[in-house]
Amino acid sequence: MKIRGKVFVFGNNVNTDEIIPARYLNTADPTELARYCMEDARPGFGRGTDIKGSIIVAGENFGCGSSREHAPVAIKAAGISCVMARSFARIFFRNAINIGLPIVELTEADTFEEGDIAEVDLETGKVRNITKSTEYNAKPYPAFLRKIVEAGGWLEYCVKSLQSLS
Amino acid sequence: MTLAQKILARKAGKSRVEPGEFLLLDVDVALANDITAPLAIQKFKEYGGEKVHDPDRIVLVPDHFVPNKDIESAMQVKLLREFAEEQGIKHFYEVGRMGIEHVLLPEEGLVKSGDLVVGADSHTCTYGALGAFATGVGSTDIAGVYLTGRVWLRVPESIKVQLVGSFKDFVTAKDVILKLISILGVDGANYRALEFFGPALREISMDGRFTISNMAIEAGGKAGLFPVDEVTMAYEKERNIEVETLSVDEDTVYWKEVHLDLSQLEPQVAYPFLPSNTKDVTEAEREGIKVDQVVIGSCTNGRIEDLRLAAQVLKGRKVAPHVRCIVIPGSQNVVKRALKEGLVDIFLESECVFSTPTCGPCLGGHMGVLAEGEVAVSTTNRNFVGRMGHPKSKVFLASPAVAAASAVRGYIADPRRL
Ligand code: SF4
């Protein structure tokens, strides 16, 4: 699957309190959470009219902090098509895989600038910066995780394996 | 093998597992709270769940916004309560019996050495202090456990932390972990387990070990593991739990090793906006940082020893006129002990508020949310932007001793120079 979209750039150590602040956590409704996506990193981001289909690019340790799955849920529900970062915090990484939010670990993530158009091929790991005509190779998922991603998420995988057991 | 490998190999029924290996494992305890459980329950139902795999392995603790701060929070807790009833889940803790999850679970003997514990809360790593493999996951993982009893895990590489020397006065376990995070950085242990060894372990009580394991995640760690020794065994024995010793093989090779001499350690203060931004308290004190609020509590430092230490500093003194000092015990049991030991009187005499157990201000929920521009010294674990309230407020992290001294002085202060 190929994803193409406009890039929004964030820095290092973007934590889940910035992605979805606790003051919005008295609901688990994705559309409500989406409105406040990235609120404390960039106020109003989730209510922007130009974020649908776009790509978030960040530095090291994206999604550090609390385990709240509301963070990747908010990003996905806001219509962000993919998150690319130099590295992800562990729990965010696992949550994104589990809920089927495409994420890509890319060493060259910091070569992207706000507004660049990026294209990501999730199968091959090829990442292109269309604006700058550059191309990179992202780290591929380990085989086990690919199975989860291919199933569409962890629960899809669980339900399938439960069905095959019975 | 490392402690992490040993526990996970045993769980997998294998003689050996290697870092990087992916495992599908049966979970002993699956924890969720008032923020993360609603999402897990919703997903469980969405994916056709009717009866949970094993109700006795499920723990539900409403602690973040309780006693419910608003209608939405009340609705979330209602969802947990009804789910517990419908599924026959015994381990649901209502106000009056509850505590902050990571204080409550060990205290109640719900987690023990050798267990595999997953929790939809990043500080689930706290139970590594008991020699359990305990790690934070998301709500979908918890829904997966409700459906199948299982979770997927990657065997982590481990970092060995060798602790030597003896604590100086007013230097605590909190200072050990803050210092370590500053050495490793906030992602220095990402995907790895921290494992604590060395002669200094003898000096670190169970409460202190919980504090250290609790903040493993602030260095990105997947787990913060202690071997099982006499200290652990004594703690477990009080709860009628028999455990085996857990230690590491002599020839184990670690991904990285860090050495920390406690006798060289000063009380630490972590500056906004990262837990790794630490300075010695002596340096912080010189800067004369004015404080509006002090919070003593949380899953990091809301245990009885923490309250004793704070009370020792506050006894016979008053909180500075411009400071609000909020003391929040970690569980109902801690409340009872604090009452019995006369600590509550000391806090009230010093003009602190003493609250019922709750996460409260730790995540800016309620019970002490900061206004624009305000500064707090807190014994909690995170000082990110907006963590305790307004995005333009600031949180400095420290031990109960430094927090209490700062409450008295009204600026960040060294408890040894009151
Ligand atoms: S006390 Fe703070 S860190 Fe601990 S569980 Fe509650 S909100 Fe999370």
Reading chain B (418 residues) residue by residue, the pLDDT tens digits are 999 999 999 999 999 999 999 999 999 999 999 999 999 999 999 999 999 999 999 999 999 999 999 999 999 999 999 999 999 999 999 999 999 999 999 999 999 999 999 999 999 999 999 999 999 999 999 999 999 999 999 999 999 999 999 999 999 999 999 999 999 999 999 999 999 999 999 999 999 999 999 999 999 999 999 999 999 999 999 999 999 889 998 889 999 999 999 999 999 999 999 999 999 999 999 999 999 999 999 999 999 999 999 999 999 999 999 999 999 999 999 999 999 999 999 999 999 999 999 999 999 999 999 999 999 999 999 999 999 999 999 999 999 999 999 999 999 999 999 9
Confidence band for A140, pLDDT divided at 50, 70 and 90: confident
Best to test chain A binding among B151, B181, B363 (most A CBs inside 10 Å): B363
As a whole number of angstroms, the distance between CA A80 and CA A84 comes to 11
Assigned token pair, B249: 């093989």
What is chain A's mean pLDDT, rounded? 93
Cβ of B138 and A67 within 8 Å? yes
Cα distances from A130 to residues A112, A135, A155, in angstroms, run 10, 8, 35
**Does ligand 1 have an atom closer than 6 angstroms to the CB of B123?**
yes
Can you give the pTM of this predicted structure? 0.95
Contacts of A148 (CB under 8 A, 6+ apart): A97, A98, A154, A157, B152
**Does ligand 1 have an atom closer than 6 angstroms to the CB of B299?**
yes
Q: Looking at beta carbons, which residues of chain A come within 8 Å of B147?
A: 155, 158-159, 162
Whether pLDDT at A96 is above 70:
yes
Helix A143-151 with A154-165: angle, nearest 10 deg: 90
As a whole number of angstroms, the distance between CA B239 and CA A54 comes to 53
Cα distances from B349 to residues A85, B318, B319, B324, in angstroms, run 51, 7, 9, 14
As a whole number of angstroms, the distance between CA B258 and CA B56 comes to 39
- B79 interfaces chain A, CB cutoff of 8 Å: no
* pLDDT for res A97: 95
Q: Are A59 and A109 in contact (CB under 8 A)?
A: yes
In sequence order, the β-bridge partners of residue A6 are A117
SS3 (DSSP) at B327: strand
Q: Are B281 and B414 in contact (CB under 8 A)?
A: yes
Whether omega for the bond prior to residue B106 falls within 30 degrees of 0, making it cis, is: no
Q: How many CB atoms lie within 10 A of CB B297?
A: 34
Assigned token pair, B30: 């699956």
Assigned token pair, A85: 């970062």
Cβ of A89 and B220 within 8 Å? yes
Assign domain B268-417 one CATH number from 3.30.1360.120, 3.30.499.10, 3.20.20.80, 3.30.70.260. 3.30.499.10
On whether ipTM exceeds 0.85, the answer is yes
Å from A13 to nearest chain B CA?
Answer: 8
**Does ligand 1 have an atom closer than 6 angstroms to the CB of B298?**
yes
* pLDDT for res A165: 64
Atom 6, ligand 1: which residue's CA is nearest?
A: B359
* pLDDT for res A166: 61
Cβ of A158 and B39 within 8 Å? no
A105 CA to centre of ligand 1 in angstroms = 29
Tell me, yes or no, if the two domains B3-261 and B268-417 fold the same way.
yes
Assigned token pair, B342: 């006369």
Whether pLDDT at A162 is above 80:
no
- A3 interfaces chain B, CB cutoff of 8 Å: no
Check whether domain B3-261 has CATH 3.30.499.10, yes or no: yes
Atom 5, ligand 1: which residue's CA is nearest?
A: B299
The residue in chain A having the minimum alpha-carbon distance to the alpha carbon of residue B77 is: A26
Domain ranges of chain B: 3-261, 268-417
* Ligand 1 site-directed mutation target among B104, B380, B382, B383, most atoms within 8 Å of CB: B380
* Ligand 1 site-directed mutation target among B295, B362, B383, B388, most atoms within 8 Å of CB: B362
Confidence band for A26, pLDDT divided at 50, 70 and 90: confident
Per-residue burial over B67-95, b = 16 or more CB atoms within 10 Å of its CB, e = otherwise: bbbeeebbebbebbeebbeebebebbbee
Q: Which of B76, B147, B222 minimises the CB distance to A26?
A: B76
- B139 interfaces chain A, CB cutoff of 8 Å: yes
